[in-house]
Amino acid sequence: MAIVIFGDSFSFPEGNSATNRIYTYAKGFNENNVNTYVICNRNDYLINGNGAIDRIQYFNPINQSERSNSFIKRNWFKAAKYLNTIRLIKRINKQDKITAILIDTHESFTHLFSFYLARVINAKLIVEKSEHPLRLFQKNTLKKVQGLIKQKIESHFCDGILCISQFLVDYYKHHGLPQGKLFLTPSTVDPGRFTQAGEKPVHYPYIGYFGGLTFNRDNIDVLIKAFVLISNKHPDVYLVVGGFCTENERKKLENLILDLKISSRVNLLEYLPRAEIVNYIMHSDILVMVRAKDLETQASFPSKLTEYLVTSKPVISVNVGEISDYLTDGVNSFLVEPGNCVVLAEKLDYVLNNYKLALEIAQRGKQLTNTIFNYNFQAKRMIGYINSLYS
């Protein structure tokens, strides 16, 4: 029995939150005696595109280490990767029967190509959904109709859907999908990746945020403004911020920090490899999760929140989506309303002034990463679900 994880929404083995999610799935499957292969369909030019990590074999079928200057060659390689994928799938299936292809993509062509692959080898196609299917189709009525048509086609051409939230399960049921085709899989984390911390990267205590650095979706400006309100009360505490953003977003963030006159107290990190970011996370004194309240947060669940919990450090999170289904303010975390820098500042001040109690609460939050958010626990459930599709 084997599972192939395929798609173009992630890179592998280094990447963003989607990469981390794929990694936890693959590692969990392997540990439950299901060989797992990751095929990354992106047009990434990598020196070592194929390899293995933690017994997870991964492949980048474009097979190019650098971008060609020739337009014709570039497009040939992009087309050839599909032929390479077909050969790779057939080879894996011959040596290790594939029972399911788990697809993570936003592209309809990639989705339909995956459906073709699954049918060729008589396997089930499982779609991974961690975002609202219409989140990129909200511009106008025409875009919404386009999104609904795309959703309808993709929902038909699959055998099952892994939903990261109950919101998504209910959404797809409302749009006619049977319960047996839907499976709730919360955000997953591998505690083993957070057991060894290197040397503390800075000499001062700090509040940490590591995720998207946007003003709209991630509300990073709310955290910056909240920090300003407590910076004079806690002059020895700094703010360390790291994550993905565009050049324009980074410039906007730098200007806000400059305007608020806290440049000397905020460390805005450059891009860092995964291992270094984990080190910053583990050495944080407080970890904060900010996010806007919108369609996206209703349907999704932030993977960085489960990674924060595993550290046993106090976690302050905005209460959006289904976070309060798992976390309770003052019991296993600290929750605040979204978009309110004053309330967030008050919570930061409380945690800093009651740090021993905050650490006890953090220990209860960590327990969730050994159960409901644990990658191995969820992998067993997913394997059972895939097997049920055959019966």
8 Å CB contact between 78 and 45: no
Residue with tokens 């003003």: 215
Residue with tokens 């360390």: 240
User: Do the domains 2-188+374-390 and 192-370 sit in the same CATH topology, yes or no?
Assistant: yes
Q: Quick one: pLDDT at residue 73?
A: 86
Instruction: State the CB neighbour count (10 A cutoff) for residue 320.
Output: 24
- pTM, to two decimals: 0.91
| Phi–psi pair at 209, nearest 5 degrees | -135, 125
**What is the distance between the alpha carbons of residues 260 and 234, in angstroms, rounded to a whole number?**
16
Domain ranges of the chain: 2-188+374-390, 192-370
DSSP notation for 109-168:
HHHHHHHHHHHHTT-EEEEEE-S-TTTT--SSHHHHHHHHHHHHHHHHS-SEEEESSHHH
Q: Quick one: pLDDT at residue 155?
A: 94
Give whole-number Cα distances, 102 to 22, 127, 304, 322, in Å: 10, 6, 22, 24
Q: Which of 190, 187, 246 is nearest to 215 (CA)?
A: 246
Class for the domain spanning 192-370? alpha beta
Amino acid at 106: H
Q: Quick one: pLDDT at residue 198?
A: 83
Q: Which two tokens stand for residue 254?
A: 């730098």
Q: Which of 336-368 are b and which e, b meaning 16 or more Cβ less than 10 Å from the residue's Cβ?
A: bebbbbeebbebbebbbeeeeebeebbeebbeb
**What is the distance between the alpha carbons of residues 213 and 258, in angstroms, rounded to a whole number?**
16
Q: Which of 48, 35, 41, 44 is nearest to 3 (CA)?
A: 35
Question: pLDDT tens track of the chain, all 391 residues?
Answer: 899 999 999 998 888 888 999 999 999 999 999 999 999 998 888 877 899 998 999 999 988 888 888 888 888 888 899 999 999 999 999 999 999 999 999 999 999 999 999 999 999 999 999 999 998 888 889 999 999 999 999 999 999 999 999 999 999 999 999 999 999 999 999 999 888 778 999 999 999 999 989 998 899 999 999 999 999 999 999 999 998 888 999 999 999 999 999 999 999 998 888 889 999 999 999 999 999 988 888 899 999 999 999 999 999 999 999 999 999 999 999 999 999 999 999 999 999 999 999 999 999 999 999 999 999 999 999 999 999 999 8
Q: Which of 70-95 are b and which e, b meaning 16 or more Cβ less than 10 Å from the residue's Cβ?
A: eeeebeebeeebbebbeebbeebbee
Q: Quick one: pLDDT at residue 279?
A: 94
Q: Quick one: pLDDT at residue 13?
A: 87
May I ask the CATH architecture of the domain 2-188+374-390? 3-Layer(aba) Sandwich (3.40)
Amino acid at 133: P
Q: Quick one: pLDDT at residue 271?
A: 83
Categorise residue 219: left if φ over 0, alpha if ψ from -120 to 50, beta otherwise.
Answer: left
**What is the distance between the alpha carbons of residues 258 and 214, in angstroms, rounded to a whole number?**
17
Q: Which two tokens stand for residue 312?
A: 């046993």
